[in-house]
Amino acid sequence: MSQQPMRGSRLGSESFEQDTNKNLSPRQTCSYRCANDHITEMIFSADAEIPVAWGCKQCSLEGALLDVNGKQAFETEVPKTPRTHFEMLLDRRSREELEELLTERLGELKARRARGQADATNS
């Protein structure tokens, strides 16, 4: 490690411990790549069980473990994009239900407008 003054560094991303005169336990560096092509490197103990996915440090996606050639090591399902609110909504309600709700709400809105009530004064 260099002897330069410490600059701003992300907490926990590196150790400031001096490596000299110490027997480091064997370790391995593993790389993870998310769908946005960010590489996240993690250091594990050599005998640790390596997780096949790791949360990307730059975005909210999960990165997949890469092998030494930089290829995805396991055929893990890595989500391409974070789930949207709409996708989560679809877990709770079917499209038919949503169409029904929309029609219902639009009907109420039209009826309210027909009575001459302003939208903002009602909730």
Which residues of this protein are in contact with Zn ion, per CB under 5 A?
A: 34, 36, 38, 56, 58-59, 61
Q: Which helix (H) or strand (E) holds 109?
A: helix 95-114
SS3 39: strand
Question: CB 107 → Zn ion: shortest distance, Å?
Answer: 44
Q: Looking at beta carbons only, is 30 or 56 nearer to Zn ion?
A: 56
Q: Looking at beta carbons only, is 35 or 90 nearer to Zn ion?
A: 35
Burial 9-19 (b: 16+ CB within 10 A, else e): eeeeeeeeeee
Q: Looking at beta carbons only, is 39 or 73 nearer to Zn ion?
A: 39
Q: How far apart are CA 32 and CA 73, in angstroms?
A: 9
Question: CB 104 → Zn ion: shortest distance, Å?
Answer: 40
Question: CB 58 → Zn ion: shortest distance, Å?
Answer: 5
CB 74 within 8 A of CB 65: yes
* Strand-pair partners of 72: 66
Q: Looking at beta carbons only, is 42 or 90 nearer to Zn ion?
A: 42
CB 73 within 8 A of CB 30: no
Question: CB 47 → Zn ion: shortest distance, Å?
Answer: 28
